[in-house]
Amino acid sequence: MWDRTNGRTVGIIPVALIGVIVSLGLWLPGRAEAADHGMKFDRKADFSVYETYGWIEQKQRPEGSPLAVGGAIDTKIRNAIDRQLTRQGFRPAIDEEPDFLVSFDGSMEQVTDIEANRRQIATGVAWVVDGDINSYRKGTLIISINDAETGKAVWSAWTQSKIKDPNKPEKQINKSVKKLLSKFPPDK
């Protein structure tokens, strides 16, 4: 809404709009940070009938990939998922059809972050002072659950984290798997 007063155009912002602007200002900075985990699930799925599980055959990954099927990391993740599901009361379907099927995927990537303080000289002109360049590996793990009868995906969760020690990944894998599967089955 605009008002013409004494030959000048003045912007008038309704009070309700100010509230929206302030709310967005408080909400958006928190959203700028990327979430390090998430989950989604089918609210219509009956998770209470799930007792036994099997594995979906993993897709082949490129040779040399740290997550190559049958490789060390692949085996550690699979074993961690087996242990966690067993702790939660589920059992592998050995001589029976499973109630649900489990699969996982993931990636590892090299990340470079530049953290610096900027000093503004003039509009559009700044220099960087006290800067640090951090280079590290980031891992992403996604665990998915499909209903065995329908084949439909009913639950999935993911997490991302900095890989602390690439030579000893088991502790971090176990922690990530526990974090994800603690949300399965979901509270509706």
Same domain, 91 and 28: no
Distance from C-alpha of 161 to C-alpha of 174, rounded to nearest angstrom: 13
Residue 187 included in any domain: no
Provide the mean pLDDT of the chain: 79
Same domain, 105 and 91: yes
Same domain, 57 and 80: yes
Q: Which residue has the tokens 């006290």?
A: 130
For the segment 133-159, what is each residue's pLDDT rounded down to a tens digit? 788 888 899 999 999 999 999 999 999
For the segment 3-43, what is each residue's pLDDT rounded down to a tens digit? 444 444 333 333 333 333 333 333 333 333 456 889 999 99
Same domain, 61 and 14: no
Same domain, 163 and 117: yes
Same domain, 18 and 50: no
Same domain, 107 and 55: yes
H helices within the chain, ranges in order? 15-32, 72-87, 170-181
pTM: 0.70
pLDDT at residue 128 in the model: 65
When divided into structural domains, the chain yields a total of 2
Same domain, 5 and 45: no
Same domain, 164 and 142: yes
Task: Give which of 134, 187, 160 is closest to 35, Cα–Cα.
Answer: 160
Same domain, 49 and 22: no
Residue 186 included in any domain: no
For residue 6, the enclosing domain spans 1-33
Same domain, 71 and 91: yes
Query: Terminus-to-terminus CA distance in the chain, angstroms?
Result: 44
Whether 129 has a pLDDT exceeding 80, the answer reads no
- Indicate which CATH number applies to the domain containing 66: 3.30.160.670
**φ, ψ at 144 (rounded to 5°):** -125, 145
Query: Contact 109/145 with Cβ under 8 angstroms?
Result: no
For the segment 38-75, what is each residue's pLDDT rounded down to a tens digit? 999 999 999 999 999 999 987 777 777 777 777 888 89
- Residues 166, 167, 171, 176, Cα dihedral to 10°: 20
